[in-house]
Amino acid sequence: MYKVFNPELKDWPTLMRRPLHDLDLIKETVDEIFKNVKIYGDKSLIKYSKKFDKVDLKNLLVSDKKINNSQNDINPELKESIDIAFNNIYKFHKSQIFKSKKIETSPGVFCWHEKRPIENVGLYIPGGTAPLFSSVLMLAIPAMIAGCKNIVLCSPPNENAELHPAILYCAKLCKVNKVISVGGAQSIAAMSIGTKSVPKVNKIFGPGNQFVTYAKLKSINYNTAIDMPAGPSELLILADENANPDYIASDLLSQAEHGPDSQVMFISLSKPLVNEVEKCINDQIRILDRRDFINKSISNSKLMFFDDKIKAIDFINQYAPEHYIINTENESFFIDNIINAGSVFIGNYTPESVGDYASGTNHTLPTNGNAKQYSGVNLDSFLKTITFQKISKDGLLNISKTVETMANAEGLQAHKNAVSIRVKDL
């Protein structure tokens, strides 16, 4: 990992840079996928599954029988763990239910707003090097609580042209309506456009690689919303001399193993701690299975020292990490002053991986600095807000002059008249 001490302000943008990709190649590939999905529908999805996933698909849709029997295909310990995670995630998202109240803004003028579910939602569950069944819980649980009418799940098949049974079991728990064994940008195109097997949805959720991220951005052209541009995983840890270097190293490695384009950052308020953490990383990496991925992502990553806590938090806010771990004695300063982050983990005993699986918070979070303008997935992500108002006769008389004066000033005579004609009758 690259080490830097008290970096100058002019060097910050370079240090914050995420792994770069050939955007022209990504754009060209995804544009071609959308074009073919629009023309050829399911046939193109089968073709792309063979090309990218090396599988011959006979059926895109996973049968209800296979979903219902999925719990028999996972070991009891995993099933129990999924059930516990389900309950914790459900509790946390259930607590986000909004309770509306009417406000009398002026005498006789009542306004309120209510939440309504997005009817059709699409969930993208990454497969590839690891079947992320935990993402099913993170996305489908709030969709279920919100009351979404149709929940469609797409995920890339394994070498046997099947989805991992844990993905299917989580889909069963969350009452997903359709499970489709198609992944990559082609599944995003299918949910954006609609095919015989894949319904068109109103909003697409879920993380993915750069191709999936670009495809989600392109889906907006097909009147399909997205949760956020969520790309490769990233983690930033802030620590002082009181932190445990072994814990820090383990957290950095846990995110580095997601893939070669992941990025992890360590900011230390103690200069000796930088070298201690580096040593712990080198010690721990030897026993990990995904060493190849980790070594590539570590090359995108940095160890930094700041002797000024204000500069440290300024850097963190500009970087806007997806995951942010605070491991300092004076944690309140860094909690109170964080503005841009997807999810925050506090203290020695709050590893990021607990949030990934079972604490209850959502792990679908903004990456690549998008925490400056996006929130992570939550219950509201699956809801629309509709405003209501009801005005009495006295209420209209009370507010009529205000509206008539403003409409007249804007030169909108019909707007003014819609009020005046009623006032005249009153």
Helix (H) or strand (E) holding 117, with range, is strand 109-117
Does 276 qualify as catalytic in the annotation? no
Both tokens of residue 70?
């999925």
- Cα–Cα distance between 343 and 362 in angstroms, integer? 8
CA distance 47 to 189: 14
Phi-psi region of 147 (alpha: psi -120 to 50; beta: other; left: phi over 0): left
**Active-site residue, 323 included:** yes
The 3 state secondary structure assigned to 39-70 is HHCHHHHHHHHHHHHCCCCCCCECCHHHHHCH
Q: What gap in Å lies between CA 131 and CA 164, rounded to an integer? A: 7
**Residue of 164, 322, 352, 363 marked active site:** 322
**Sequential DSSP letters for 132-176:** -HHHHHHHHHHHHHHT-SEEEEE----TTS---HHHHHHHHHTT-
Inter-residue contact 139 to 167 (CB < 8 Å): no
| Token pair listed for 389 | 């108002």
Alpha helices of 194-308 — where are they, by DSSP H? 210-219, 245-256, 271-285, 291-298
Helix, strand, coil % in the chain, rounded to nearest 5: 50, 15, 35
Closest CA to 395 of 103, 93, 49: 103
**Choosing from 93, 258, 323, 363, which is the catalytic residue?**
323
Active site residues: 322-323
